[in-house]
């Protein structure tokens, strides 16, 4: 059996877990290639106009994979950690895809809801494997190996690598004395080189070390998130605000860039809270970049150059 995993949305967070689980059960796993113009166009024409850019990109990847896989793996992500939720669009993703009116292979969509107990994700995977004919023991063993692989991946991100660095086996050259910029966004915006218009590459080429929220320990994020006047229950939003709050308070970076998707409800709230924090601390240059399917290189480069000039001018003064 060949199972397809679209290279989009939380692929950038959980791919090692998903890949290893299915491979341990002996399935062939096929993922779509990095996003390109054709994939984006396919997604834009298949998705409803109101969808955010990452969801449109996801549709493109699913359609690209469709002829090459017997199943598509599209989990219904409800909650990744107790007390939090993922964005509603990710919860409804399998249904949106099934009703997109396109010819797709069957969609396998376990419900992953950490609010249902500490073993909720594991049990969801085991149940899904049972539907495909695998025994519980076999699935439990596959789960353990997959969790260990995911932990190794998370540790590498903690060492300062991006998912792309990890997949390319890049050396850790980013721990030098170069000035650091904090770049905050959802992983599927930031680590998709096509969607982010090569933002990380461009910053590194200008000589900056790029820090992302994924590089901070979960403990630090939780402590910072606890300082918010009201608990934020979106886990990706907590990650962004936690990392932003930490660096605004402690310094250690020369500026902050927040990348948001046009049409993203959670981003509009998180972006506003982050900007307020940045104004309150008032120490660091802050840039908000909004991405949609029409965003072109030119506009982004102009804004980025202006921002970096300001960062450098402040550093020199």
* Residues 105-164 contacting ligand SF4, CB under 6 A: none
CB under 6 A: which stretch of 15-23, 85-93, 134-142, 302-310 binds ligand SF4?
85-93
The single residue among 8, 25, 78, 87 that binds ligand SF4, judged by CB under 6 A, is 87
Q: What does the alpha-carbon distance between residue 78 and residue 4 come to, in Å, rounded to a whole number?
A: 21
Tokens read off for 271: 């972006």
User: Does residue 258 touch ligand SF4 according to CB under 6 A?
Assistant: no
Q: What does the alpha-carbon distance between residue 216 and residue 199 come to, in Å, rounded to a whole number?
A: 20
The single residue among 19, 27, 44, 52 that binds ligand SF4, judged by CB under 6 A, is 52
* Residues 219-238 contacting ligand SF4, CB under 6 A: 236
User: Does residue 186 touch ligand SF4 according to CB under 6 A?
Assistant: yes
CB under 6 A: which stretch of 37-45, 112-120, 136-144, 262-270 binds ligand SF4?
262-270
Of 58 and 73, CB closest to ligand SF4: 58
CB under 6 A: which stretch of 108-116, 251-259, 260-268, 293-301 binds ligand SF4?
260-268
Q: What does the alpha-carbon distance between residue 71 and residue 1 come to, in Å, rounded to a whole number?
A: 8
The single residue among 244, 261, 287, 311 that binds ligand SF4, judged by CB under 6 A, is 261
The packing angle between helices 11-24 and 136-158, to 10°, is 150
Token look-up 């992500």 returns 77
Q: What does the alpha-carbon distance between residue 151 and residue 18 come to, in Å, rounded to a whole number?
A: 13
CB atoms < 10 A from the CB of 45, how many? Answer: 12
CB under 6 A: which stretch of 84-92, 125-133, 153-161, 282-290 binds ligand SF4?
84-92
The single residue among 16, 266, 271, 285 that binds ligand SF4, judged by CB under 6 A, is 266
The single residue among 5, 10, 40, 55 that binds ligand SF4, judged by CB under 6 A, is 55
User: Does residue 89 touch ligand SF4 according to CB under 6 A?
Assistant: yes
Residue ranges of the alpha helices (H) in 25-117?
Answer: 37-46, 53-65, 88-91, 93-98
Q: What does the alpha-carbon distance between residue 87 and residue 77 come to, in Å, rounded to a whole number?
A: 9
User: Smallest distance from the beta carbon of 179 to ligand SF4, in angstroms?
Assistant: 29
Tokens read off for 216: 């901070």
User: Smallest distance from the beta carbon of 93 to ligand SF4, in angstroms?
Assistant: 8
Distance from the Cα of residue 285 to its chain's centroid: 24
Of 46 and 254, CB closest to ligand SF4: 46
The single residue among 47, 90, 273, 284 that binds ligand SF4, judged by CB under 6 A, is 90
User: Smallest distance from the beta carbon of 55 to ligand SF4, in angstroms?
Assistant: 5
Contact 1, 27 (CB under 8 A): yes
The single residue among 54, 160, 163, 244 that binds ligand SF4, judged by CB under 6 A, is 54
> Which residues lie closer than 8 Å to 231 by C-beta, 6 or more apart?
83, 225
Size, binding site for ligand SF4 by CB under 6 A: 13
Q: Which residues pair with 209 in a beta bridge?
A: 180
Of 89 and 202, CB closest to ligand SF4: 89
Q: Which residues pair with 41 in a beta bridge?
A: none
Contact 294, 53 (CB under 8 A): no
Token look-up 């599209």 returns 74
What is the contact surface with ligand SF4 in residues (CB under 6 A)? 52, 54-55, 87, 89-90, 186, 236, 261, 264-267
């Amino acid at each position: 059996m060949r199972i397809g995993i679209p290279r989009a949305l939380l692929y950038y967070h959980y791919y090692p877990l998903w890949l290893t689980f299915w491979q341990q059960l002996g399935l062939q796993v096929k993922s779509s290639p990095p996003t390109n113009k054709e994939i984006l166009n396919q997604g834009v024409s298949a998705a409803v106009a109101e969808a955010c850019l990452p969801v449109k990109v996801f549709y493109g990847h699913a359609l690209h994979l469709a002829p090459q896989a017997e199943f598509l793996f599209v989990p219904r992500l409800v909650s990744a950690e107790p007390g939090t939720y993922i964005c509603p669009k990710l919860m409804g993703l399998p249904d949106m895809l099934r009703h997109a009116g396109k010819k797709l292979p069957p969609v396998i969509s376990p419900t992953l809801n950490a609010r249902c107990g500490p073993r909720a994700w594991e049990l969801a995977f085991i149940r899904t494997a049972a539907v495909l004919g695998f025994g519980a023991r076999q699935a439990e063993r596959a789960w353990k190996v997959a969790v260990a692989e995911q932990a190794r991946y998370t540790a590498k991100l903690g060492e300062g690598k991006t998912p792309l660095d990890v997949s390319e086996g890049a050396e850790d050259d980013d721990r030098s004395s170069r000035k650091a910029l904090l770049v905050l966004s959802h992983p599927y915006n930031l680590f998709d080189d096509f969607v982010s218009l090569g933002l990380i590459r461009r910053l590194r080429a200008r000589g900056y070390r790029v820090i992302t929220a994924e590089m901070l320990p979960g403990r630090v994020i939780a402590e910072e998130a606890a300082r918010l006047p009201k608990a934020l229950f979106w886990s990706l939003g907590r990650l962004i605000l936690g990392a932003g709050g930490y660096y605004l308070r402690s310094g250690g970076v020369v500026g902050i860039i927040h990348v948001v998707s046009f049409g993203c409800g959670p981003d509009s709230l998180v972006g506003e809270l982050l900007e307020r924090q940045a104004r309150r601390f008032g120490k660091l240059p802050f840039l908000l970049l909004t991405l949609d399917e029409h965003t072109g290189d030119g506009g982004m480069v102009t804004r980025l150059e202006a921002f970096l000039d300001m960062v450098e001018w402040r550093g020199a003064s």
